[in-house]
Amino acid sequence: MRSCVVLLFASLLTLCEAQGTIVTPVFVLKGRDLLLKLHADPPEGVLYVDWKINKTVTLVRFDPNGKPTVLHNVTGGFEFPENKFSVILKNVQEVDSGLYSAEAVTPTGDKLLTEYKVTVEGPVSPVELIVDRVDSSSSESCDLHVTCRTHNSHISSTFSCVDRVCNQEGGERPEVTTSGASLQVYLLNNVIICNHNNQVHRMQDLIHAEQLCPKYADPLSHPGWWMASCILTVIVVVLIVWLYIYRKRRIGKSK
C-alpha cells in the first residue's frame, strides 16, 4: 500500500466556530493517498461515527467497534487502517478537495470530533531560466538580465555583479500564476534560482551568476573553448600523421 500523506501546517491552524474544534488545513499532491484520523476519541456510549464532506454528505459510518460501512464513495475509493475510525482516501483528485469532518452520534446528541480542510493540488509545470542580456561596462562589474518562465507566466529580474559578489536589483516579488502557484526568481549564494511552486510541489532551474560575467567565466565551461580545442587537436593529429608519412617516404627514397 502506498504511503499515506498527511501534511499538517500547524502555523495555519484556525479555530472553528462550531463546538470549539480546530480545523486542520491539509495540502496533498494529486494522485497521493490521504489519511484522515480522529483528533479525539469517541465519547462513551457512542452509537456510530460518521465521516462527512462539507458537512452534508456522509461518506463512511463506523459502528462502536470501528467497523466501517461506505455510504458514499470518493474518486479513488477508501481503505481502512488498523486504528479504529480512521479513513484513507485513495488516489485523491482536485474534486476531492473540501471540508472533511468526523462526528460522533450519541443518545444525548452529536459531537464534532475532527475537521480537515483538504486542498488537493496538481504538480506545477517545469520552469526555464533564460539569460536575456549581459551588460559589462567595465572589467570589474556586469549586469545580468534574466527571465524565469513557465508555460503560462514569466517574471524578469536584474542582477549586478561586482568583484564576484552579486546582488539582485529588481524583480524580487513573486508572480502568482493562473493556477495559483508562485513563480519567483531570486539570488542565493551567487546562484540565480528560478522557482515555481505551490503547497505540495516545486520545480527549479538555476545558474551561477558569476559564470555569466565575461571576466569571471570559466573558459573551460564555454562551448567555444571546447570547439577550439577539438579543432586544434585535429590539426595536431593531422600534422603528426603527415610528418610520419613524409619521413617514411624520405627514408624509402634514400635507400
Q: Can you name the residues that pair with 122 across neighbouring β-strands?
A: none
Going by their DSSP bridges, the two strands 191-197 and 128-135 should be labelled as unpaired
| pLDDT the model gives residue 216 | 61
pLDDT in tens, 18-44: 345 689 999 999 999 999 999 888 998
Q: Which amino acid is at 58?
A: T
| pLDDT the model gives residue 17 | 37
Beta-sheet strands, E only, within 81-164: 87-89, 98-106, 109-121, 128-135, 141-150, 153-162
User: Does the pLDDT value for residue 52 go beyond 90?
Assistant: yes
| CA R_g for the chain | 32
Range list for CATH 2.60.40.10 in the chain: 4-121
pLDDT in tens, 95-130: 999 999 999 999 988 999 999 999 999 999 999 999
User: Does the pLDDT value for residue 6 go beyond 60?
Assistant: no
| pLDDT the model gives residue 180 | 84
pLDDT in tens, 140-183: 788 999 999 998 899 999 999 888 888 998 777 888 887 789 99
What whole-number distance in Å separates Cα of residue 75 and Cα of residue 96? 7
Contacts 24+ apart (CB under 8 A), 239-243: none
Architecture of the domain whose range is 4-121: Sandwich (2.60)
> pTM of the full predicted structure?
0.69
What whole-number distance in Å separates Cα of residue 84 and Cα of residue 65? 8
